[in-house]
Amino acid sequence: MDSLSSKPFYHKLSHSLIAIALITVAIYLGQDILVPIAMAVLLAVLLRPMEGWLIRIGVPKVLAISIAVTAAVLIMAGVAILISMQLSDFSDEWPKLKRNINDAYRDIRRWIRREYSVSYRQQDQYIKKAQTETLENFQSAETLGIVTGPLGSIILIPIYVFLFLYYRAMLLHFMVVLFADKYKAQVMEIMGEIKTIIQSYMVGLLLETGAVALMNSVGLLILNVQYAILLGVMAAILNLVPYIGGLVATALAVMVTFINHPDGYTLAGVVGVFLTVQFIDNNLLVPLVVGSKVRINALVSIVGVLIGGALAGISGMFLSIPAIAILKVIFDRVEGLKPWGILLGDQTPEQANNNLFRLVKKKRKEASE
């Protein structure tokens, strides 16, 4: 690692850019394999304290891992059942929703005919053409893979989690012996910090999601909004996707509320509830509950979320923040990569008591005199 400092800047920069390009291509091409593995790693680190506690009280290792994985699966299944029950209630209102949608559809058609002089017959032709193209896309083999892919990932993730927990010692040993002896202490420090960050982030994220779901549901129930619990839980789940998820959740809640409560006061109340919850979440829950372990600036977070979404969809958005946090831990401890760690962090030179800019200003002032 020390040899990196003797290399020219353009040499180090070119190697960094090539490495970034190769990693990006690998993630994009292998996302169906890498994303479930990454999700399983996060869950395995999250379940490790539970597994360790079971082993300490005398439970065999295989049984302890099985209990931890089963508990996680049951919790996720319970959330899925809750959402399904709410969706079933939502489906009972389908005739009313269909009638409201048809009324809005007729109003839109009349507006298009009046404003753009497009006849009803031409509109029907455009709609039929769009329907035909959509059906052709859904009947393709690629679409079938998109639909069945997540199902296969859901089945594989618990298996991956079990295997990661079972072979944890072997994987850690591999990471240590992968580097030279003089770097072993540094590697162990990095791995310990990564484990702490992932556990802190995942536990905090679960607590934050539960609190956001509760506040959303209570606020919507006070406004007497239908499907308040469904909208509150779905909004909390969407909020797991940083920055973008909150906007999508607000838009979804407003659209569903508009169908059943088209009056402006209720819509304004729904927007107010979500804005209030987002304010509390961003300024209180995230700093206190999620913790200060994930110290990433907002600019890098937003760009990272967008890049993650472009590479691996919604799963990539969710994984982007812990991935950036892990990279920052590595960059901060590897000579030659520390500038990248500064770029990812949220500490300004003023907060770090860095006199760099003061020295520059002082030299400029002396030169002008």
pLDDT tens profile 5-33:
556 666 667 777 787 788 888 878 887 88
Cα–Cα distance for residue pair 43/158, rounded to 1 Å: 9
Q: What is the pLDDT of residue 350?
A: 53
Between 163 and 315, where is the model more confident?
Answer: 163
Q: What is the pLDDT of residue 298?
A: 72
Cα–Cα distance for residue pair 129/112, rounded to 1 Å: 18
**Is-contact 154 32, C-beta < 8 A?**
no
pLDDT > 70: percent of the chain? 73
Buried b (16+ CB within 10 A) or exposed e, 259-280: eebeeeebbebbeebbeebbee
Q: What is the pLDDT of residue 63?
A: 93
Say what the pTM is: 0.66
What's the rounded mean pLDDT across residues 354-369? 54
Q: What is the pLDDT of residue 15?
A: 73
Band (pLDDT 50/70/90 cuts) for residue 148 is: very low
Cα four-point dihedral sign 307, 178, 341, 364? negative
**Is-contact 110 116, C-beta < 8 A?**
no
Mean pLDDT of all residues belonging to the chain: 75
| pLDDT at position 218 over 50 | yes
Chain centroid, CA 144 distance in Å? 24
| pLDDT at position 210 over 50 | yes
pLDDT > 90: percent of the chain? 5
Looking at residue 345, the DSSP 8-state letter turns out to be S
What's the rounded mean pLDDT across residues 49-72? 90
| pLDDT at position 237 over 60 | yes
Q: What is the pLDDT of residue 290?
A: 58
Q: What is the pLDDT of residue 70?
A: 92
Band (pLDDT 50/70/90 cuts) for residue 144 is: very low
Q: What is the pLDDT of residue 104?
A: 66
Cα–Cα distance for residue pair 135/139, rounded to 1 Å: 6
| pLDDT at position 242 over 50 | yes
Looking at residue 286, the DSSP 8-state letter turns out to be I
